[in-house]
Amino acid sequence: MRKFLFVSENDHGDRPIKPYVDAGAHPSLRLPHEIKARLKKFGAAILPWIVPLMIMVIWEICSVTGWLSTRVLPEPLAVFKAGFRLLVSGELWLHVRISAIRALSGFAIGATLGLLLGLLTGSFRAVEVILDTTIQMIRNIPALALIPIVILWFGIDEAAKLFLIAFGVFFAVYINTFHGIRSVDPALIEMGKSYGLKGFSLYQEIIIPGAIASILVGIRYALGSMWVILIVAETISAQSGIGYMTMNAREFLQTDVVLLGILLYAGLGKLADVGARQLERHWLKWHYA
């Protein structure tokens, strides 16, 4: 869908470009169509990165000329240097790995539970009647409001962080799975039943594929809240991870490392979103065909 923004109606595609001079005499003066098309594609790929690049350049200029104090914001080059230093010492990889494992295991627990429970309440009225009201009530509690009681229950160990992330992720996946299953076209289910599908095969052929678009929306949303909760959980108490790294750097006024941590969160968030999009492209390929 995105491609239409940039490379749809390419009006150079079929309209010949009028040469200033006789084309037969100077064929080299004409730009071949395919090169033009390629340039256009290249431009479309670069365009989104122009604004971030400009910001970096202006920021660097401000730092170098002294308009921006390094206490407030270090120059971009310093952030790169800090990143390189930590990468060489192996510290960066350690923290990123720990944070990623934390985030993904919490996500796996919460998303699996959300998916299973969503499947149950979506499929069986009785389960919905029994559970849905309770779940809707708990849903309105922000995960971060649970921090005090979670610390009392689990201490400040890994378990507390996993619980918070799983809790935050659960509802997005649950609600979208439930909604996805409920909105599968009943005419298709009836058709499937009249062709002898039931139980597992009915889910495999009709119900899950029909709900998958909605489930994926839930997963993308959940990935977003996963990072938010991880950041807060790690800045409260941790002995490792990106949050620990940045809090530690703050104590020593290492603004470059603090900024590096923030950028890392941005990068990991983008990565998770790209992953979710890949899943979408794979599972919904009939949608884009």
Partner 1 sequence: MFKYSRFLVHQEPSQLEPFAPVASRGANLDIKQLKKAFGSRVVLSDFDLTIEPGQFVAVIGRSGCGKTTLLRLLAGLELPTSGSVRIDGFDAGTQRSQTRIMFQDARLLPWRTVSQNVAIGLKGSKTEVQEKVNEALMQVGLEGRGDDWPKCLSGGQKQRVALARALLHRPSLLLLDEPLGALDALTRLETQRLIERIWSAHDFTTLLVTHDVSEAIVLADRIILLEEGRVLMDEKVSLPRPRNQGDPQFASLERDVLSHLMGC
Are the beta carbons of 242 and 263 closer than 8 angstroms? no
Q: Is 39 in the site for partner 1 (CB under 8 A)?
A: no
Nearer to partner 1, 189 or 247 (CB): 189
Nearer to partner 1, 56 or 284 (CB): 284
Nearer to partner 1, 18 or 285 (CB): 285
Question: What CA–CA distance (Å, rounded) separates 178 from 146?
Answer: 25
Nearer to partner 1, 68 or 208 (CB): 208
Nearer to partner 1, 26 or 193 (CB): 193
Cβ neighbours, 10 Å, residue 146: 16
SS3 71: coil
The CA-based angle 93-260-218, given to 5 degrees, is 80
Residue 195 identity (one-letter amino acid) = Y
Number of residues that bind partner 1 (CB under 8 A): 18
Question: What CA–CA distance (Å, rounded) separates 189 from 213?
Answer: 17
Are the beta carbons of 265 and 95 closer than 8 angstroms? no
Are the beta carbons of 42 and 6 closer than 8 angstroms? no
In angstroms, give the least distance from the CB of 64 to partner 1: 55
In angstroms, give the least distance from the CB of 176 to partner 1: 17
The CA-based angle 1-225-84, given to 5 degrees, is 85
In angstroms, give the least distance from the CB of 273 to partner 1: 23
Considering only residues 163 through 202, tell me which ones interact with partner 1, judged by CB under 8 A: 187-188, 190-192, 194-197
In angstroms, give the least distance from the CB of 289 to partner 1: 5
Options 122-130, 166-174, 223-231, 280-288: segment touching partner 1 (CB under 8 A): 280-288
Question: What CA–CA distance (Å, rounded) separates 92 from 39?
Answer: 38
In angstroms, give the least distance from the CB of 1 to partner 1: 15
Nearer to partner 1, 210 or 224 (CB): 210
Using only C-alpha atoms, the chain has a radius of gyration, in whole angstroms, of: 26
Question: What CA–CA distance (Å, rounded) separates 263 from 248?
Answer: 16
Q: Which 8-state DSSP code applies to residue 15?
A: S
In angstroms, give the least distance from the CB of 200 to partner 1: 13
Provide the mask over 203-242, with x wherever binding to partner 1 is found by CB under 8 A and - wherever it is not. --xx--xx-x------------------------------
How far out from the chain centre does Cα 187 lie? 34
In angstroms, give the least distance from the CB of 197 to partner 1: 6
Nearer to partner 1, 209 or 224 (CB): 209
In angstroms, give the least distance from the CB of 201 to partner 1: 8
Q: Which 8-state DSSP code applies to residue 36?
A: H
Nearer to partner 1, 157 or 185 (CB): 185
Are the beta carbons of 41 and 7 closer than 8 angstroms? yes
Q: Which residues bind partner 1 (CB under 8 A)?
A: 187-188, 190-192, 194-197, 205-206, 209-210, 212, 284, 286-287, 289
